[in-house]
Amino acid sequence: MKDRLFWVREWVPELLRQLVPDPVVELRSEPSSYYVHGTFFYDETKQFVLVQVLHTVELATHGEPQCAPKVTISIDRSKLNVSGARVLWPRTQDLPVASENGKTRFALPALDRYMALYLKVA
């Protein structure tokens, strides 16, 4: 990380926001991290969205564990109406879902290396 240019950290997210100003779903980490990645997939019935979140900092630090940032997911309700969220791995847990300003938001519990969850499509 010491060789990375600091401006890339700010420029890439800003460029993405200009290219896709109103994304359907957005995964954010606080503080911002290169090492938190999320993927979103519909299941066959289109009643659920499988979300996988990966924290890869141990790969960059050669196995040295680091605290994961706080992760939130924000969904544009006009494009994808989600009524619930449940963590499937590493521990089953229902997540409180909040709605405001046309967005559905929820915070993930403490992230270790990997987390899988389902979003229930309303």
Measuring CA to CA, which residue among 76, 81, 110 is closest to residue 93?
110
**How many Å apart are CA 38 and CA 48, to the nearest integer?**
16
Please enumerate in sequence order all residues whose Cβ is within 8 A of that of 22, keeping only pairs 6 or more positions apart, or say none.
Answer: 76
Q: Which comes out higher in pLDDT, residue 103 or 21?
A: 103
DSSP-derived secondary structure letter, 33: -
Q: Is the pLDDT of residue 31 over 90?
A: no
- Which of 38, 67, 33, 31 shows the shortest CA–CA distance to 53? 38
Domains of the chain by range and CATH?
23-121 (2.60.40.1180)
76-92 pLDDT, tens digit per residue, is: 999 999 999 999 999 99
The answer, as to whether pTM is greater than 0.85, is no
Helix (H/G/I), strand (E/B), else coil: 101: coil
